[in-house]
Amino acid sequence: MPGQTLFDKIWARHVIADLGDDYALLHISRHLMHDGGGRGLQMIRDAGYSVRNPDLTFATFDHVISTEPGRTHETLKPHAARLYHMRDEAKRWGIKLFDLGEPGQGIVHVMGPEQGISLPGTLLVCGDSHTCTHGGVGAIAFGVGATEVIHVLATQSLVQRKPKRMRATFEGTRNPGVTPKDMILFLIGQIGTAGGTGFAVEYAGSAVRALEIEGRLTMCNLSIELGAKIGMVAPDEKTFAFLKGRPYAPTSALWDQAVADWRSLPSDSDAVFDVEVKVDMSRIVPQVTWGTSPEHVIAVTDTIPDPADAGDPDKQKSMQAALDYMGLVAGARLDQTRIDWAFIGSCTNGRLSDLRAAAEVAKGRKVASHVRAWVVPGSENVKRQAEAEGLDRIFLDAGFEWREPGCSMCLAVNGDTIAPGQRSVSTSNRNFVGRQGPGGRTHLASPAMTAAAAIAGRIADVRSI
Amino acid sequence: MDAFTVLDARAAPLMRQNVNTDIIIPIHRLRDVPQAELGAYAFEPWRYLPDGSENPEFFLHQPAYRGAQIVVAGDNFACGSSREGAVWAMMGMGVRCVIAPSFGPIFFNNCFQNGVLPIQLPRAEVEAIANELEAATRPGSNHEPRLSVDLQKREVVTPSGRRITFHVDGIRRDALLQGLNEVALTLTREAEIAAHQAKARASTPWLYPAA
């Protein structure tokens, strides 16, 4: 019998019942909720169910909250009613809610690992597609729909089909200016936004092992942009060091027991994956997207591709539509494109290491006069730590705005939007049509590249700053 | 959930790749509009002109495709956000079945939760169906742009009468055919869930600090 993958081992632990056809009823060991899906708690009451395991569900506010500095009851309008309703419901059911201003509040995919709620070997779900982020600590984590959320709340289980297994192995060392964001964008560019559809993807290889946990979370975060619901990295000593002492991580004897177990989780050396992808790190330089899908990505120094060179007519059509929407022409250099906005934050790149990387570029420099630049920390703790290190001063001195934690302009559901036709460089995860506001144009890039663009006033190569 | 058995209905091709759920239902509509009214905003960024009037180019505004209950789509249909509102919005326009070479994985599951059938077929087959639908709209055609989908037989019948067999996982098919509520079904397995959780609490106690 061949060895097992990391994914197989965690999946097997959570099978309550084999339902045939590769389907299983799975136990859910962690469930996270956010204010965008807070209606689930009302829906479960309306349906006459109850919350089976409030002890395994954790909630926070992130999607619809204002990120205005010094936010108040007033700035939380017009969505305050939703927040207060969720607060009441969470209390009634006995679900831990990380409230505004409280350590732990933040983007749900920043909060989970930060609090030690997301642990190796868990099966974690949340009503948000970027739940794949938590795979960075060695968990199976995936996003679910609203009805599946009800299923989890009522039964602490979920019916799922077992995906196939893919391994993406990154070998080599990072070139200057290359971050985890560039690594995953490069992979998406290589295999496309449907390249991972139907798979759980394990990121492996020397370049992934070399990453700190926050970088692994960033890579896993973009798995869904690869078409994969699940992305994961095997837990190792770095994972254990990252988690130790976190508020919800195990302690004393249980910690030792947990670590001993977690050491058994990595894929066996003879484990077989359905698909193997190899990435040579020497080929990766800083990436930026030019279009309206994360697969529309190129090296910052490249010219914008010509749809005529894509063989497939459907692909040509979608590339041309993207160019038209973005107001760009094939063959032009991307790094001369003038921008209006720079956004640093999100569940992709809103962690302390991201803010440090951006601050390093911003230090002693000034945001271009025509650019509005925001830094939105991923969580209350990230904000406090950044302020303790003086990162907020660096950003403010450089002309960035320093805001309160939340999802903000990543999906613009809280009213943080760019105007139609405006162009943004953003550390977020989706450059979809209208993602940062109707008619807005988004270029995805790393935190350092985004800071560089804010300063240059145009898309810029961080290596030349 | 409404059962899905046989659907003989108008069908419309949307052969674009990577149509995402942000396009199918913009987030601010999902935030502000009740579920039952989302249909009016389905595909909003494509469906209306800047002045708010209907965009005649939008695929479901073309006379031959108006009111289609089946959408034939390109690769990676409904990728991106997990928002189930994408399914609700399409249902609000009357759509009950989507045929595509591949789907966003969360949308795919969300369809089954709402009595909508997502059918995955090889790309060449999807393109052939789309071509037949387009041909059926041309002047002089003897056919209508309709498809017949029979879930019991797992078969799509095209305008020209071609029969195409599709696969759908048995558990999903049974649930759709009978309109079963998955939560209610799972609640009948409470003893198994409790037994599993007791075992998990014993073998991985560090995951259950509150126990």
Residues A229, A330 within the same domain: no
Please answer yes or no on whether A248 and B114 come within 8 Å at the CB atom: no
Residues A197, A346 within the same domain: no
Residue A269, in any domain of the structure: no
Q: Which of residues 87-106 of B touch A (CB under 8 A)?
A: 87, 102-106
Residues A305, A361 within the same domain: yes
Residue A285, in any domain of the structure: no
Q: How many beta-carbon contacts under 8 Å exist across A and B?
A: 182
Please answer yes or no on whether A433 and B22 come within 8 Å at the CB atom: yes
Q: Count of domains in chain A?
A: 2
Q: Mutation test of the interface with chain B: which of A134, A193, A255, A261, choosing the one with the most B Cβ atoms within 10 A?
A: A193
CATH number of the structural domain spanning residue A423:
3.30.499.10
Please answer yes or no on whether B82 and A295 come within 8 Å at the CB atom: no
Residues A193, A51 within the same domain: yes
Phi, psi of B38 (to 5 degrees): -65, -25
Residues A236, A364 within the same domain: no
So what's the pLDDT on residue B211?
Answer: 42
Q: Nearest Cβ partner of B22 from A145, A250, A434?
A: A434
Residues A305, A393 within the same domain: yes
pLDDT above 90 as % of chain A: 90
Environment class of A264 (CB within 10 Å of its CB; exposed 0-12, middle 13-18, buried 19+): exposed
pLDDT tens, position by position, B34-58: 999 999 999 999 999 989 999 999 9
Enumerate the domain spans of chain B.
6-179
Please answer yes or no on whether B76 and A79 come within 8 Å at the CB atom: no
Residue A281, in any domain of the structure: no
Burial readout B162-200 (b: 16 or more C-beta within 10 A, e: otherwise): eebebebeebbbebbeeeeebbeebbebeeebeebbeeb
Residues A375, A423 within the same domain: yes
pLDDT tens, position by position, A406-465: 999 999 999 899 999 999 999 999 999 999 999 999 999 999 999 999 999 999 999 998
Tell me which residue range forms the domain holding A149: 6-262
Ramachandran category for residue A171: left, alpha or beta (phi over 0 → left; psi -120 to 50 → alpha):
beta
Q: Could you identify the residue written with the tokens 């529309």?
A: A296
Residues A258, A151 within the same domain: yes
**pLDDT string in tens for chain B (211-residue length):** 889 999 999 999 999 999 999 999 999 999 999 999 999 999 999 999 989 999 999 999 999 999 999 999 999 999 999 999 999 999 999 999 999 999 999 999 999 999 999 999 999 999 999 999 999 999 999 999 999 999 999 999 999 999 999 999 999 999 999 999 999 999 999 999 999 999 999 999 999 965 4
Q: Which of residues 134-163 of B touch A (CB under 8 A)?
A: none
Residues A256, A405 within the same domain: no
Architecture of domain B6-179: Alpha-Beta Barrel (3.20)
